[in-house]
Amino acid sequence: MTPIFQTSAEWGKAIDHSTADEKTKQLMELGMQNLQRHIAQEMKSSEMIAAIVKEIILGKNTDFRCFTNVGFLDEEIAAKLKDPASDESIEYARKRFFGDKKEEN
């Protein structure tokens, strides 16, 4: 299986930046760096997820609510479940991609 981290890096290379202005290119670069760092730190490997799924299938007390990637997008998912119409999950995503950098007009 292809690791998600390696695959996501390939996806990023497919984005055409030829018509983007310099500010957009800088924001995309910052966002991709933060996303790759986040994936590398929080995402479990395919093998680890397979082991969790196997444990659930073979276990006596099967719990289909088992999270395979604890720590990955937890705050965003919780915010979206709490209030689907809220922008709270969007704010978590903004912070994940761009850190504490606020939009400058």
38-67 per-position pLDDT tens digit: 777 777 777 888 888 888 788 776 666 666
Question: How many CB atoms are closer than 10 A to CB 89?
Answer: 19
Residue 21: band (very low, low, confident or very high) from pLDDT cuts 50, 70, 90? very high
Q: Is residue 71 part of a domain?
A: yes
Q: How far is CA 5 from CA 11, 29, 32, 103, in A?
A: 10, 16, 12, 28
In a domain, 20, yes or no: no
Average pLDDT rounded to a whole number, residues 13-22 = 84
Per-residue pLDDT at 14:
78
Determine the average pLDDT of the residues in 1-18: 70
* Number of domain units in the chain: 1
2 within some domain = no
72-94 pLDDT, tens digit each: 777 888 888 888 888 888 888 88
DSSP sequence for 58-72? H-SS--TT--SSTTS
Q: Is 66 a member of any domain?
A: yes
For residue 65, is it within any domain?
Answer: yes
* Domain encompassing residue 49: 44-100
Residue 94, domain member (yes or no) = yes
